[in-house]
Structure 1
Amino acid sequence: MRPQKIDDTQLIEGLMSVLQSKGFEGASLNDFAQATGLQKASLYHRFPGGKNEMAIMILQFVNTWIKDHIYLVLTEKGATTATKLQRVVQHIKQLYQNGEKSCILNALSLDSGLVILGDEISKAMRLWMEAFTALGVELGYTTTQAETKARQSLTFVQGGLVLAKGLGDPIYFHKALSDLKSLFVRE
């Protein structure tokens, strides 16, 4: 029997959905197989390092996504602040399906015992904060003020996702995104 084919986007979406809903420790190879439509043997072939290798690939995808959809957008020259923020907020909404999906960084932050996951999670969060710090500095805030706002932006989005999931209402996520935009409005 010929192995089933799946494109990388479908594979990443399937793997990420399992990790978002079950976390690293709770996810099984059966869960990954079901979410991707692949046989366990195909997953073993593609990821000889198992669940660890899958999680690392997902976090590398997240880092690339943050670079492309947040960092490069917020550091773009020539675009207005309002335009940059609107684009970033739209990207964040799409990634988290309007607050319906859990944050992959949060899901993988639970202790898995893998140092490399912590390193990749930290890298993603630092890149997020660098992007928002650059925006704050561009707006005339001091570096310290911009760094504070950047940390708050991450806290707003992460907290909004946790509340939306925990209380079953995406309004908390939408409020967090509104608060995020307000952070970078000069008075």
Structure 2
Amino acid sequence: MRPQKVADHVLLENMISVFRFNGYEGASLNDLANASGLKKASLYHRFPNGKKEIGSAVLAYITEGITNNIYQVLADKNVSADIRLNTVLENINEVYDGGKNSCILRVLSMDSGLELFGDQIKFSMNIWIDAFTLLGIDFGSTKKEAKSKANKSLVLIQGSLVVTKAMSSLIPFQEALKDLRNLYIE
């Protein structure tokens, strides 16, 4: 068997870029093949079920990132809650490139994407909420208060990304990161 021309993580990052720019409906297999650096036949070889399988693989990759960069960091009781929060805020800032990148969960939840990927999107968002709930509890909130803060944390980031894009300004995203920190450090 020949070695793969493009590493999986590079391929998936390139696919994410196409979906971010075009949405699920607007992303053609030609766009995905061009971004991947693979010929269409090679892309089909890696993803026999086409665009839907690519979307699902992208979401699995994103879920892994949320698990590694948010959940595992916030669940690590060996590190102070304040340091965990700061680390996660840095991770979020990096993933969204300071607010320049749209959230792939939002992009893939539009049009037919929600019908196709709703369970995966919900699962990813629940990992986020579970992680921030743990953090809230570690900061002294009741479980109910912590869950409320966790939901707000997701809305803050997602909402700020929409506003950032619409206003062509990174300020809303940067302010949301500060507001998210303040939600926990009162």
Please give the TM-score of this superposition, normalised by the length of structure 2. 0.95
Could you list the per-position Cα deviations for residues 63-90 of structure 1 after superposition, in whole angstroms to 9, with x for gaps in the alignment?
A: 1111110001011012122211111011
Distance 1:158 1:114 in 2: 16
Match of 1:56 in 2: 56
C-alpha contact (below 8 Å) 1:137/1:143 kept by paired residues: yes
Partner SS, residue 112 of structure 2: coil
Gaps in structure 1 of 5+ consecutive residues: none
Which 4+ stretches in 1 moved above 6 angstroms? none
5 Å matches for 1:24-43?
A: 24-43=24-43
Match of 2:147 in 1: 147
Distance 2:155 2:115 in 1: 23
> Counterpart of 1:85 in structure 2: which amino acid?
L
Once the 2 structures are TM-superposed, how far is the Cα of residue 111 of structure 1 from its aligned partner?
2.6
> Counterpart of 1:119 in structure 2: which amino acid?
D
Quick one: structure 1 residues 46 and 144, their matched pair in 2 at CA, closer, same or farther if it must change by over 3 Å?
A: same
Match of 2:16 in 1: 16
> Counterpart of 2:108 in structure 1: which amino acid?
L
Q: Number of aligned residue pairs: give it.
A: 185
**Which shifted more, 162-171 or 109-118?**
109-118
Quick one: structure 1 residues 39 and 155, their matched pair in 2 at CA, closer, same or farther if it must change by over 3 Å?
A: same
Please give the TM-score of this superposition, normalised by the length of structure 1. 0.94
Partner SS, residue 108 of structure 2: helix
Match status 1:180 vs 2:169: no
Distance 1:133 1:61 in 2: 23
Aligned residues: CA RMSD: 1.6
Provide the identity percentage: 45
Could you list the per-position Cα deviations for residues 95-140 of structure 1 after superposition, in whole angstroms to 9, with x for gaps in the alignment?
A: 1111111000000011316645100000000110000001111111
Match of 2:108 in 1: 108
